[in-house]
Structure 1
Amino acid sequence: MSALLDGLPPSVLSLAYLVSATLFITGLREMSHPRTAARGNLVSSVGMVLAVGITVLWFDILSPLVLLVALVVGTAVGVWLATTVETTQMPQLVGLFNGLGGGASVLVAGAELVGRAGSAEAAALQSSVVTGAAATTGLIGAVTFCGSLVAAGKLHGLSEHPVHYAGERVLKPLVALVAVGAGVVLVLQPAAFGPVVRADWVPAYWTLVLAASLLGVLLVVPIGGADMPVVIALLNACSGLAAATTGFVLDNSILVIAGTLVGASGMILTRIMCRAMNRSLGNVLFGGYADVARRSDDADDPYEGRVMSTSPEEVEMLLDAARRVVIVPGYGMAVGQAQHAIAELARLLAANGVDVAFGIHPVAGRMPGHMNVLLAEANVPYERLRELEAVNPTFAETDLVLVVGANDVVNPAALTDESSPIAGMPVLHVWEAETVVVSKRSLSPGYAGIPNPLFTRGNTYMLFGDAKETMQALVTEYKERHSP
């Protein structure tokens, strides 16, 4: 125990961990709603600072001065990231955070094994619970670390398309088998060596880590960039599970609690994302849209002579006559960084007595809540955001729907074409509105690679161009007409 805490009863540590766990749970509850998410993040951060601080000081892991320096450096890095990383780059940053969590768990569990092997403390590692937890940490943590690096690269645009290769269906199970085999050796070897564990068995852990690292790459490489909302949520869950199993290795209750909370919330979010896409997790990881032969580029143009284009001036006139408008943001809004122009347009409409709402699809963008984050950055009031289940019944009463950069989440083929790759996927029923305006750069397909019949409907107009430029032009037109 650190000299600063010398003489304190063990119950103090338990109490500190209890307070930290309470703060984690409270923060997680607050983060379930956009309005209180920032406060929830702060509450959880206080809990983590308390948990880390009391652990480091109680077990005399670092001196108070070194701990203070570490906190200052970490805070500086966090502030730098918060101020320099664009909101549109948050998905890849979240991916990196997931990976770092998994990688840290791998190193901590490995260091514990190396530190105890061949020593008097090694007998404690003979427990199959401890070695099994270490093996699980190495497997999940390494998959999370390398898989997250690949996911972050895809989100950053390095390679959004799925990458397939010969022998893919054989190589992945083979590498997984090697990793699991190394884990079995790790669990069984200590018991075979008697009361003193030799250091010879430790390499089994690093063999497991290497195989799991390769498995992480192989699992994520074949997944397309548009499936990243599910992948990010799953990797978030995996980073939490890796932390929880590390807690068993270290016999640290607060690490088990924190990791379990992250893992459980990540799995719930993964399930929500899969349900929003009407796909199973197995289909996302091992199937996916890339396995469907549907390259519309090689087919006849399904839109030829059937699309009605429009201009910002014409759209402004439609908005001027509308009493209810729903704006549907998509990945194109994020790429074009059009959220501020859209937010300004919404404020102008609301000031003119128009009922304005935003229709949010759960998988719009490249990470869970991507659209919510962008709109929050542009100071769009939370009460204007409507989830899919809430906004769909209102489209029939809507005068105009403005779709900005969304594609498959507004594709009626999900409901009308049973052979479509997105058949059964819940979508926003924007076509039920009186008029639909779709802002896109071109008629290129979305991540499913299929045509969108919405573009050829009689009540749909296409507003071609960069999302930010067209939305800003629309704002300018609206201001000119309604300026005093």
Structure 2
Amino acid sequence: MHADVLTRWLPEAIRACYLIAALLFILGLKRMSSPRTARGGVVWAGVGMLLAVLATLLLPGMHHLGLIVLGIAVAGGLAWWSGKRVAMTDMPQMVALYNGMGGGAAAAIGVFELVGAARVAAMGGVDAMAPAALVLAVLGVLIGAVSFSGSLIAFAKLQGWMDRRFVFPGQQVFNVLILLLAVVLGGVLIFAPPAMAVIAGFLLAALAFGLLMTLPIGGADMPVVISLYNALTGLAVAFEGFVLQNEAMIIAGTVVGAAGTLLTQLMAKAMNRSLGNVLFGSFGAAAGEAQAIDGAQKEIEAPDAAVMMAYAERVVIVPGYGMAVAQAQHKIWEFAHQLIERGVKVRFAIHPVAGRMPGHMNVLLAEAGVPYDLIVDMEDVNPEFPNTDVVLVIGANDVVNPVAKTDPASPIYGMPVLDVVAAKQAIVIKRGRGKGFAGIENALFYADNTRMLFGDGQAMAAQLVSELKSLDA
């Protein structure tokens, strides 16, 4: 009697768990939209995922539970270990890698289902998969494989293992042909009995398209790419959820896909690029020969820089990836706090694509304890630069480069940038005279109102703190 009751109510209990998990996913995502509640949002979503996984393990007919639990334990342990050890500067690479793994897992599920259908067809069976499930399996493999291979290229570029851009004549035409090949082979799988050779060719074509689509993308556009592949992974997971008739996968994939799509649109807007250009454009390709930059970089010493800001009325600090590399966010906040105590109005200006992924700088500043009300977005701070006495740029490069507005031949032309050049004075902390991630010279560094404070970001920030204290001694 008890076994009958359990068999009868267990599926309903599992669906209820999926519903609760979906609610936690949505509420968690909502809380992630604000830095104040983001940490709690991550916890809520994590609890939802744990509930969904535990409920799935209780599904009737589940096999190899021991292997599944072992796999979860090993993978979870590795993820916990790597997540604890990874530096904040390497977090974009980890996000790209883990996102790719999600897309690859979705593609693997679809391939497994297609192989099963091919085996049934080879033995003369019929109705191996419902037509709708077959279509969704093919779409899941295509999208998941593109996300997987593309994310690996993004990871390699962010990690510095390969060139930032790789182009060759006729590249876009070749890419389209590979995509058409994948679509044609996917159509064959849908309208003809699945065959192993066709499945293999389809998977390889999809993987190749992901690689080829990402190779020409410049490093400065990686935030857009990461957001795009995040959306594709969510979509692939949702499709494979329909194939497996798993509500948790459908809901989680849909939420991730929708959020990733919105974020991609926001990032593309921040880069002043259409979504079509994100998908098929050769990012970072210049339209011609860039304009020459006149003038020379003018150096300043830390004591003079500290005095300039100590007696300023308004100071804006612009952080970039270099600050993350130097781990200077804590010293920069200490310096800013000292300025505030002296009566200086200090704000932190964040470009939407500063760093290597969306929100990278916000996380760093939050880690250092910078109050949220001191952090302003590009649209809000740009009109204030003409009335700003000093702008301190630490580690930012391409997002403050004025050629984005003045040089049509520049790779970043048309990208909205922080108008630091319009400020009364600008001080740039930079390790050396190298170029930014886009690989171009920054006209701001040669401007008449800009002074360069060369040195390691954390060391220079510490020296500014020391010099400021000496003024009050």
TM-score, normalised by the number of residues in structure 1: 0.89
Identify the residue that residue 97 of structure 1 maps to in structure 2: 98
Identity %: 47
Is 2:343 aligned against 1:356?
no
Residues 3 and 37 of structure 1, relative CA distance in 2, 3 Å threshold? farther
Is 2:287 aligned against 1:286?
no
Q: Distance in 1 between matches of 2:348 and 2:17?
A: 43
Please identify, of 91-100 and 306-315, the stretch whose mean Cα deviation from structure 2 is larger.
Answer: 306-315
Q: Distance in 2 between matches of 1:151 and 1:318?
A: 41
- Report if the CA contact (8 A) 2:317-2:349 is conserved: yes
- Report if the CA contact (8 A) 2:390-2:426 is conserved: yes
Residues 5 and 145 of structure 1, relative CA distance in 2, 3 Å threshold? farther
| Structure 1 residue 366 displacement after superposition | 1.2
Q: Distance in 1 between matches of 2:226 and 2:215?
A: 13
- 1:83-482 alignment, distance < 5 Å: 83-119=84-120, 123-190=126-193, 201-284=195-278, 285-294=280-289, 302-304=293-295, 306-418=296-408, 420-482=410-472
- Report if the CA contact (8 A) 2:290-2:407 is conserved: no
The alignment partner of 2:426 has SS state of: strand
- Report if the CA contact (8 A) 1:223-1:288 is conserved: yes
Tell me the alpha carbon deviations over residues 434-461 of structure 1, each in whole angstroms, 9 at most, x when there is no partner. Answer: 3211122344443455443333333221
Residues 163 and 119 of structure 1, relative CA distance in 2, 3 Å threshold? closer
Q: Distance in 1 between matches of 2:44 and 2:390?
A: 41
Tell me the alpha carbon deviations over residues 40-88 of structure 1, each in whole angstroms, 9 at most, x when there is no partner. Answer: 1111111111112112212342577666555543442232122110010
- Report if the CA contact (8 A) 2:287-2:410 is conserved: no
Tell me the alpha carbon deviations over residues 111-142 of structure 1, each in whole angstroms, 9 at most, x when there is no partner. Answer: 22334544599755443211111111111111
Tell me the alpha carbon deviations over residues 280-325 of structure 1, each in whole angstroms, 9 at most, x when there is no partner. Answer: 23334422223434467xx6xx344x43321111101112102322
Identify the residue that residue 41 of structure 1 maps to in structure 2: 42
The alignment partner of 2:385 has SS state of: helix
Q: Distance in 2 between matches of 1:383 and 1:33?
A: 12
Supply the AA of the counterpart residue of 1:225: G
The alignment partner of 1:322 has SS state of: coil
| Structure 1 residue 481 displacement after superposition | 2.8
Residues 131 and 261 of structure 1, relative CA distance in 2, 3 Å threshold? same
Identify the residue that residue 11 of structure 1 maps to in structure 2: 12
Please identify, of 278-287 and 226-235, the stretch whose mean Cα deviation from structure 2 is larger.
Answer: 278-287
Residues 168 and 465 of structure 1, relative CA distance in 2, 3 Å threshold? same
Residues 122 and 406 of structure 1, relative CA distance in 2, 3 Å threshold? farther
| Structure 1 unmatched ranges of 5 or more | 191-199
Please identify, of 60-69 and 400-409, the stretch whose mean Cα deviation from structure 2 is larger.
Answer: 60-69
| Structure 1 residue 167 displacement after superposition | 4.3
Q: Distance in 1 between matches of 2:433 and 2:116?
A: 59
The alignment partner of 2:256 has SS state of: helix
| Structure 2 unmatched ranges of 5 or more | none
- Report if the CA contact (8 A) 1:294-1:449 is conserved: no
The alignment partner of 1:424 has SS state of: coil
Please identify, of 340-349 and 118-127, the stretch whose mean Cα deviation from structure 2 is larger.
Answer: 118-127
| Structure 1 residue 401 displacement after superposition | 0.9
Q: Distance in 2 between matches of 1:116 and 1:424?
A: 49
Is 2:16 aligned against 1:28?
no
Aligned residues: 468
Instruction: Give the alignment's Cα RMSD to 1 decimal.
Output: 2.6
